[in-house]
Each structure stands twice: as structure tokens, then as C-alpha cells.
Structure 1
Amino acid sequence: MDRLGSLNAFVRAAEARSFTVAGRQLGVSSSAIGKAVARLEERLDVRLLHRSTRSITLTADGARFLERCRRIFSEIEAAELELSQTHEAPRGTLRVGLPLAGMLMMPTLVAFMKAYPEVTLDLDFSDRIVDVIEEGFDAVVRFADAGDSRLMSRALGLYRRRLVAAPTYLAAKGAPLTPDDLKAHACLHHRFPTSRKFEQWPVPSGHPGIEIELPKTAVASTLEPLIHMAEQGLGIAYLPDFAIRRQLREGLLVTVLDDYTDRSGPLRILWPSNRHLAPKLRAFVDFLAANLVPSVEGEADSRTSS
């Protein structure tokens, strides 16, 4: 406590350029401020302030130390604010970035809105890589790890991509037994709208660098049309399991070639590390972790790493 008091006395004196003003702000005498700063300088073995009969000025070391002290007190203030808001009801606008496939998360997002009616969701759907901090997002949901040290993250679960088709299609065309059999089937492809690249299917050719050319019965830049076409028996699609959970449960779609579709990836929510978890953000992070991919346990909060 004595150290924090000395730091506070130094910051007030350095900013006011006066022991008298600093003492008045803290309710002590100017000599008490001077002694506190002197004890701090003695402990650090460095001169922080130049004194004269009329004013005080910062030394070069003092200027650097002042910036560090300001950050310390800013963190203390932020911690106190975060604790004071812990019991407040979540409210306000929450700007969230979602991938285009995030439209398939709408049941969970709608459930959140019903549970927290005082939180307004401002949703931005895009497949481009956004700068969370520069573009002013409170949080973003992504299908991959992020290597930005400025961000905090929490795992929402793992998703796996599946080759699926309607039972009526498989009854008419037969189920593929090997990836090579897909060349004789109607294939429904996803193409990323920004890069214009096709999502690669798990079709090993046996020759490195050579891709098997699959039929392109239909191509879409979002997943919803592919799900609908697959449900209607128009072909086989390659889709993330979280997006077709209901269809698989109700038997509208069934998986094929499960032994070859073992690609999985993390689903994460990220937010700026310099931003404390306001009640609205904490509620949103916890709700998604509990409901978006309920079959997979999330990890504890951690800094993202590359």
C-alpha cells in the first residue's frame, strides 16, 4: 500500500508540476508529497523529478516511469470497473463479426436475444479476415485459431465436416464406398465468395499435388442453398456438422464415407484483450460456449497463440 501511495503521489506531482497542488488533490501537505517522492527515488535509486524553488520538471527517467505508472493505475481502474459491473444486467449494443456460415448459428443467436432482451446484437457476416480492434468489433466468431496476441479467445467447440446426402438420393444412385466413387455422383460445391476458391473435399488421389476432378452439379457461395439442395435429393454436399445437426437427427440427411471425413477444426470467439468483459460480452461468450456446440466442452479463457 505504501508503494502504491508513493506512486500515486509521484503521478499527481508530475502531472501538476507541483507538490502543493498534488497535496491538495490527495488531502495531504506538500511536504508529505515531497517525502513520498523522495522515498520512491531512494528505493529506485534514480532521480525522477528536477526540483526548483518555483517548479518541478520530469527527468528523462521520470517521464518513462510516469507513462508506466499511468498504465498501472489505468489497469487498477479497469479492474475496479469490471468488478463493479459484475452484478449489472447485460445491456447495450454488441457488435459481433460472424463468418458467412454464421447464418446457420441464428437459432442460437435468437435464443440469446430472447434470454437477454436488453442486449442489441449488431451482426456483421463476412468471410474476410477482419481487424477486430481497428474495425471496432466487440467480438468475432471464427472457424480457426487466431495468432493475434492482442486478442483473447475462448473455444466454443470442435466442428467436423461431413459428406452428406438425402436417403432418397442414395437409394436411387447408391452410396459411394470410396472417395473415387464420388466422380460418378452429383456433387454440390461451396465456393468462398472473397477468394473464389472451392472448398476442397477429402478426396485423396494417391498422387501428391494432383487433385481428382469432381462433378460440379451445383456451386454456391453460402451453405444454406447446399443444405437445401442436399435435402431435396439433388446430390452430395460437404458440410460442417454443426450446420446440419437437425437434418442428421431427423434423418433428412445421412453421412457417407465417414472414414475419410475426419477433418475437424476449432470454433472460437475472440475479443480485444485490452477490453474488460462487460456484462453484455460476458453473457454472450458464456451463452455461445454453452449452446452453440453443446456436444463439445469449451476450453478456459486464454490468450490466442499462433
Structure 2
Amino acid sequence: MDSLSGLEPFVFAAQFRSYVKAGKHLGITASAVAKSVSRLEGRMGIQLLNRTTRTIGLTEAGALFYERCRQALDDIRDAEAILHHSRTAPCGRLRVNVPHIVGQHLLMPLIADFVRRYPEIDLDIALEDRIVDLIDEDIDVVLRSGNLADSRLIARRIGDQHFITCASSSYLKENGCPLAPADIQNHRCLRYRYPNTGLLAPWVYAPPHEQPRLPETMIFNNSDAALRAAVDGLGLVHLPVYVAWDAIASGKLMPLLADYCLSIGSLWIIWPASRSLSPKVRAFADFIIEQLAAMPEAFMAFRDGYGKKTPSRSPF
């Protein structure tokens, strides 16, 4: 048991590359973390971490030991959670990471109901557009679009992300209405830049209009900022239907080119395979899938669902 007690300081020191950050995460001092790691190295008879004045890093032996220790600690936490779940409701801190637009428009409207259902789960929610590493950053669950490439992760598909091009009536009155994707080149465009790659997000349309030339009038790193700029009459914007719908329903934006717009990837809920039996993770994943399944409008093409409705109110 004494050996096990020294694993957590080592794992988090290696993960954060900092005794200070590891100490804050564990609720102990940086000095206590350093002493615990030193004692562990003494028992093992081998150096696990390389120390410099500014940072720490794993030795070759430390990297191998770190992977096994992290897995072991995950298994222990899951075993404790399963045992606890047999006696009580899901509980503990749950670290969630979602893109801004997904968080603002899909996740946050559901959080109050989740908290009422699972009051013993403490949520730590981060809204950010960068791609995170769930394993290295100790994140329990993410909502993310795109393909799943890491075999250490489990994913459940929520639905397709359909997009719609929009503009305000004031902008269209002054600049005219594009009738086909090729007409976009004559308009002001409000673009989104991916934070990880620096690339601009594409506007995808049906053949033969797959790649229209898109002006770069204004560029944002946040889709809600682009939405606001479009509402203010600054140009065309291309957004997920669930993001644009409130503004369309209120008359602040007008849908354009609906017959040409296509989906861009799917939305997934993802968690580490090592936490597949964690009651809090399963409770959150099941809740989100259940709630979003009750909102099919969020994941259908504008012309297939929204286009058949009078935009008098948001479906959310």
C-alpha cells in the first residue's frame, strides 16, 4: 500500500511536467510531490524523471513505468467507482471538454437537468476549440466532431452536423441574395479558423459546387463571434444548423442555399476505454445521448426538417 501511495504523485508529476501543478491537482505541496517521487525512485532503484531548473521530463524507464502506472490507477479508480455505485448514485468530479459552439448551443441547455438528476457528480467543464488528448490531460469525456483515430478511446455517434449559409436581411437588401454557391465570391464572407491547424473551415456544398471561391472578409476563432457579425449585417456565415436556428427563428438571419448545403462530419461523445465502467462517465454519456436524441432537429439538414417549419421559435 505504501508503494501504491507513491504512484499518484509520480503519475501527475509526469503528466503535468511540473511538481507544482501535480501538487495542486492532488491537494499537496510541490515539495511533498518531489519527496514522494524521490522515495519511489529509491525503492525502484532507477531514475524515473529528469529534472532541470525549469521543467521535468520522463527518462526512458520512467516513460514505460508511467504508462503502466497510469493504467493501474485508472483501473483502481474504476474499481472503487463500481463498488461505490453498488451502494449509491454516481459521484465524484467529472472533467468534460467540448468545442465552444457545441457547449453553448447543445450542452449547456442540458446541464441543469443533469445536475438535478446526478447531484453527487461535480462537473468541471471546459469550452475550447482545440483538440485535447483525453489520456494525457486526464479528461473524462469530450464531445467532438471528426474521425476517431485513437484505439484507447470509446466513441458513440450522436448525429451528423448539417450546415446552413445565412445572412441578415439588411445585408441581403444591400448586397443581393446568392442563388448558387458560385455567387458567394461576390459577397463578404465571415470565416472560422481552426485553432489547431490555422486552416479556414470549408463551406461544403453539393456537386458540382464543392469548392466555391470564398472571400476572407473577416476571420474568427469563435463561431459565436461570426454568428454575431452576421446578425450585425457584416456578411455571409456558414454555421451548423443548431447554431443558426435561434437567429433564423427570430428573423435575425435568413437561410440561404439550403438545397446545396451538406453535412460536415458527425458529432461524437468520447471517453477513454480505461474509464468505460466508470459510473459517472456512463451516466453523463447516456444522459447526453438520451437528451440529444430527443432533439432530432439539431442533426438534420435545414431543408429536411427546419425548412418545413415556420421559424417562429427555437426547437430548443
TM-score interval (norm. to shorter)? 0.5 to 0.7
Look up the match of 1:295.
Answer: 295
Look up the match of 2:277.
Answer: 277
Look up the match of 1:149.
Answer: 151
Look up the match of 2:130.
Answer: 128
8 Å Cα contact 1:189-1:220 kept in structure 2: yes
Q: Structure 2 CA distance, aligned partners of 1:125 and 1:133?
A: 18
Number of residue pairs matched by the alignment: 223
Residue 259 of structure 1 pairs with residue 272 of structure 2: no
Task: Give ranges in structure 1 of 5+ residues lacking alignment.
Answer: 1-74, 298-306
- Deviation of 1:83 after TM superposition, in Å, equals 7.4
Q: Structure 2 CA distance, aligned partners of 1:225 and 1:78?
A: 40
Q: Structure 1 CA distance, aligned partners of 2:274 and 2:192?
A: 36
Q: Deviations over 1:219-251 (max 9, x none)?
A: 110111111111222211011112223223333
User: What does residue range 30-49 of structure 1 map to in structure 2 within 5 Å?
Assistant: none
Look up the match of 1:91.
Answer: 91
Look up the match of 2:250.
Answer: 250
Look up the match of 1:108.
Answer: 110
Bigger RCO of structures 1 and 2 (CA < 8 A, at least 6 apart): 1
- Other structure's SS at 2:114 match: helix
- Deviation of 1:213 after TM superposition, in Å, equals 3.9
Q: Structure 2 CA distance, aligned partners of 1:153 and 1:133?
A: 14
- Other structure's SS at 2:259 match: helix
- Other structure's SS at 1:140 match: strand
State the identity as a percent: 36
8 Å Cα contact 1:82-1:276 kept in structure 2: no
- Deviation of 1:110 after TM superposition, in Å, equals 4.5
- Other structure's SS at 1:259 match: coil
Q: Structure 2 CA distance, aligned partners of 1:165 and 1:261?
A: 14
- Other structure's SS at 1:287 match: helix
8 Å Cα contact 1:164-1:255 kept in structure 2: yes
Look up the match of 2:169.
Answer: 167
Q: Deviations over 1:143-174 (max 9, x none)?
A: 12312222212122221121112233223332
RMSD of Structure 2 on Structure 1 (CA): 3.4
- Gap change, CA 1:80 and 1:148, over 3 Å in 2: same
Deviates more, 1:128-137 or 1:192-201: 128-137
Code of the residue aligned with 2:287 in structure 1: it is: F
Look up the match of 2:204.
Answer: 202
Q: Deviations over 1:94-118 (max 9, x none)?
A: 0112224344242233543354333
- Gap change, CA 1:204 and 1:292, over 3 Å in 2: closer
Code of the residue aligned with 1:237 in structure 2: it is: V
Q: Structure 1 CA distance, aligned partners of 2:209 and 2:81?
A: 59
8 Å Cα contact 1:179-1:202 kept in structure 2: no
Code of the residue aligned with 2:204 in structure 1: it is: P
Which of residues 134, 137, 140 is equivalent to 1:138? 140
Code of the residue aligned with 1:245 in structure 2: it is: W
Q: Structure 2 CA distance, aligned partners of 1:207 and 1:181?
A: 10
Code of the residue aligned with 2:122 in structure 1: it is: T
8 Å Cα contact 1:242-1:293 kept in structure 2: no
8 Å Cα contact 2:131-2:196 kept in structure 1: no
Max Rg structure: 1
8 Å Cα contact 1:108-1:292 kept in structure 2: no
Task: Give ranges in structure 2 of 5+ residues lacking alignment.
Answer: 1-74, 298-316
Q: Deviations over 1:113-155 (max 9, x none)?
A: 3543332221233333322223211111111231222221212
